[in-house]
Amino acid sequence: MSDSGIWGWIWAAVTIAIGVAGGIIGRFLLFGILDRFAKRSERKADNLMVGASRAPALLILPVFGVQFAMTVSPVPENIAEPLHHLLSIAQIVGVCWLAIALLEIMARWLDDRAAASGRSPSSLRSFRTRVHLLTRVVSSIVIVITSAIVLLTLPSVQKLGASILASAGIAGIVAGFASQSILANLLAGLQLALTEPIRIGDIVVVEKEQGTIEEINSTFVVVRLDEVRRSIVPLKYFLENRFENWSLRTPELVGAVTVMNKHAVALPELREELERFLKGSKHWDGKVGTIQATDVTQDGLHLKALVSAATPDQLRQLRIDVRETLLSWLQAKSAGASARAWG
């Protein structure tokens, strides 16, 4: 490497260091001012937006600083060209990061407003699910578009893209991407947001196991089965397979406890015991509390208790308490004879 080449790299490194330092200082000053305005503002959204912008600005502003430093202090051409390309990619990624952060903050702000509006639990779950899913879908679309823009900054990819567009056309590309799993899941998420077969907090039965919809992501759904277990279900499952949703149309959350007893029991007495217990339970919302005899087989009498609660956590605990109460009562009545419960 020649002396001029060595000095060129040194000059470039100094220029980059000055630009990065200027960007970091500018970020510090800018957010010092923004924090003051946000604290004086009565709107919570101002504080949320400033907080969401803080991390992406740590990439965006230093990149601006380096770009400005390169205009004031020219860098050798053989170094400047790839550096400009790298800075452009960093700027695109930074804008994508900022857009996704603002989307998340907007979703949080809408969720807080909905919670403070006095909506019914069912309406609130529905609204939260729509916002959550749409945020995930839009964020995924932003990432896909950003990736495409970054790839198109590469000359070789530009030529490849032009040849593909010329030979197959835009419709062919769209159809090809639509067949891919990632886009299929994005479309499934959008369909779930519009049709709402499931919502966050719904009680569902998937593969014969009852659980609560805990989280809906862009590609999968987390179903909480109990305190420890979580079932990860692909998003498309809820559009392509049959499942039960116990809280789709009713505002209350309803859970079932199924009990089998080998000996005949007096159903009115068992119902009175359930009613007595529910009246003293802090988890019961006072809406649904009944026992049904669902079947009689050689194994014994199948009983199903239906109870309701205001929240998924309360319903889960209520089902545990009801299960233990019914088993204790049945075992006491049958003088130690076997009784078992599931569900």
The Cα–Cα gap between 188 and 14 comes to 50
Please list the residue range(s) of the chain that carry CATH number 3.30.70.100: 253-342
Residue 171 has pLDDT above 60, yes or no: no
> What confidence tens digit (pLDDT) does each residue in 222-274 have?
888 876 788 888 888 888 888 888 777 665 677 788 887 766 677 788 888 88
> What confidence tens digit (pLDDT) does each residue in 277-287 have?
888 888 888 88
Residue 174 has pLDDT above 80, yes or no: no
Which pTM does this prediction carry?
0.55
Residue 330 has pLDDT above 50, yes or no: yes
Residue 9 has pLDDT above 80, yes or no: no
**291 CB-near residues (< 8 Å, 6+ apart):** 267, 270, 271, 274, 303, 304, 305, 306
Q: Percent of the chain having pLDDT more than 70?
A: 80
> What confidence tens digit (pLDDT) does each residue in 13-59 have?
888 888 888 888 888 888 888 888 877 777 777 777 888 888 888 88
90: closest CA among 73, 72, 65?
Answer: 65
The Cα–Cα gap between 260 and 141 comes to 50
Q: What is the mean pLDDT of the chain?
A: 77
Domain 253-342 sits in CATH 3.40.190.290? no
CATH (residue range 123-250): 2.30.30.60
pLDDT of residue 156: 61
pLDDT of residue 165: 45
Q: What is the CA radius of gyration of the chain?
A: 30
At 136, the pLDDT band (50, 70, 90 cuts) reads confident
Residue 184 has pLDDT above 60, yes or no: yes
**132 CB-near residues (< 8 Å, 6+ apart):** 107, 200, 216
pLDDT of residue 327: 85
Please list the residue range(s) of the chain that carry CATH number 2.30.30.60: 123-250
Residues 263/300, Cβ–Cβ less than 8 Å: yes
